[in-house]
Amino acid sequence: MFTKDKIEAIDHKNPPKPHTPEALAKLNDAQAAKDAAKPVPPVAVTPSPKP
């Protein structure tokens, strides 16, 4: 299923300014910590078939 409404162009004459090295490193570290802190969803256990 494609979601074409979410496909947007970058303003190529005024593109977003790239991250500074420090900003990107900080952002990556913060996001990694956030991802690590996310609770792990419980694994569904399929009951064994009755004999």
Partner 1 sequence: MQTQPSVIATGDFLYFAPGGQAFTIPGAGTVGAAAKPGPTDPIWTTFALGSVKKPAVDKITSKEVKVTAPMPGTGIITTKQVLRTEHDLMMTVEMNEISRLAVAGFYKSPLIQLTDTGFFPLSGPSSFTGWLKRQRYDASNGLWVVDDWWVDLNVTDIKAGENNVINPTFAFTWLYSALAGSAI
Q: Which residues bind partner 1 (CB under 8 A)?
A: 1-4, 6-12, 15-25, 27-28, 30-32, 34-35
CB of 31 to partner 1, least distance (A): 3
* Residue type present at position 29: D
CB of 43 to partner 1, least distance (A): 19
Nearer to partner 1, 20 or 48 (CB): 20
Nearer to partner 1, 18 or 51 (CB): 18
Apex CA 16: angle with CA 29 and CA 38, to 5°?
30
CA distance 20 to 28: 12
CA distance 16 to 23: 14
